Amino acid sequence: MKTVQARHYHRGRISPVRLIVVHSMEWAEKGTTAEDCARMFATMSRPASAHVCVDNDSVVRCVADRDTAWAAPGANADGLQMELAGFARQKRADWLDAYSKALLKQAAAVAAGWAKLHRIPIRKLTQAQLRAGLKGFTTHADVSVVYKRSDHHDPGTGFPWDVFLDLVKDALDGEDDGDDEIDVPEWTRALSWPPTTKGDDVKVWQRQMRKRGWSLDVDGWYSDADEKVCRKFQDEKHLKVTGTVDEATWRAAWTEPIT
């Protein structure tokens, strides 16, 4: 996953994640649309951002999951925001052409990881369910109606929720927490995690450490058990023993020989 850091966002979160919010970028479908949208978030003066931008062949991270993107007022504090290449005016057939099918598959893989980590049900919330505080998937349009803090109507009434949620379920069914090679995202490589930290970066580290032979749950939560493993690993590799995964500890997990 590429990273282009957004200019406007809040560090940290004040609420647990309960929503995956789907947006359409209102940009033409091209192979560089995700990158173009991410560069806009990185440079523009208007305060807006999303966690990821998705097109048919790439996903670009703009805000870390542990931070709060500025995308859907009312659902920012407890939402993960996903911008998809395309327009709210698109009909169902437009969302199911070759380009958008590839896009939806990319987006579903990201959403599946979020859903598993934060225990979000694979369901599209009604406006009443969104208002009641239930967990699930929603749109910027519904957030606008429920919280009345924006007037956006994306991703539009033609968005194929049935197809998208089936793809998310397929991605979850195909997820493997075993010892396969893991693509290490660049945005995770210089962090320092206290024992309360959670997120995709923690999950990647847990998988790598389990591959090295350590006994850990791959759940994305940096628990007391993870801290104990971290301390033992730092001591074994003659690193400063802190119990936090700093850059040196992170890199050692991939570069140091397995003993």
The answer on 74 and 17 residing in a single domain is yes
Q: Tally Cβ neighbours within 10 Å of residue 201.
A: 23
pTM of the model: 0.69
Q: What is the pLDDT of residue 202?
A: 83
225 and 140, same structural domain? no
Range of the domain at 104: 2-173
Task: Please check the confidence at residue 190 and state whether its pLDDT lies above 90.
Answer: no
Cα separation, 30 vs 19, whole angstroms = 27
Same domain, 100 and 219: no
Pairing of β 79-84 and β 52-54: parallel
Mean pLDDT of the 248-254 span: 85
Together in a domain, 160 and 191: no
Assigned domain for 181 exists:
no
Please report, as a single letter, which amino acid is at residue 143.
V
What is the number of structural domains in the chain? 2
Tell me the CATH number at 147.
3.40.80.10
3 pLDDT higher than 90: yes
Q: In this structure, are 30 and 156 located in the same domain? A: yes
More confident residue, 173 or 121: 121
pLDDT (0 to 100) of residue 194: 67
